[in-house]
Amino acid sequence: MQPHQTRLRVRYAETDQMGVVYYANYLVWMEVARVEYCKALGFRYKDMELEDGVLLAVAEAQCRYLYPARFDEEVIVDTRVTSANPRMVSFGYEMRLAEGARKLATAATRHIFCNREMKAVRLPAKYWTAFGIR
């Protein structure tokens, strides 16, 4: 599937005393990128939760940090679905600076579709096309 591009600007709150972005915040950016990606796929993650009661519980996250991001830099997150079936979906991410294109990090997350009680469920068929499930 086509990658989707999300742009965000590093917040002061996201830095730590090392003078660079604190490592957990890359996972926040990945979530922001996932939400935008869903919109690009044709649905709102919010609606999937509210209307269909389907949540994306994170089963695994992994991030490789290549170069530190700093306050006020613009970051581009390229996101794509790397695999999907009615039980789970995996995303791949590549983060880089908008200026100069320096690669910051590569990352991946794996998610299980579940209901509000956090029990695994099958993804309703109406979402299959969006995630590339046949």
Q: Pick from 5, 31, 76, 92: which binds a second copy (CB under 8 A)? A: 31
Nearer to a second copy, 54 or 125 (CB): 54
State the Cα angle at 22 between 21 and 26, rounded to 5°: 80
Q: Pick from 27, 40, 76, 97: which binds a second copy (CB under 8 A)? A: 27
Considering only residues 44-83, where is the footprint of a second copy by CB under 8 A?
44-46, 55, 57-65, 68, 70-72
Query: What is the rounded distance in angstroms from the CA atom of residue 21 to the CA atom of residue 14?
Result: 5
Burial of 68-91, coded b for 16+ CB within 10 Å and e otherwise, reads ebeeebebbbbbbbeebeeebbbb
Nearer to a second copy, 24 or 134 (CB): 24
**Phi and psi at residue 18, in whole multiples of 5°?**
-75, -10
Nearer to a second copy, 4 or 125 (CB): 4
Active site annotation includes 16: yes
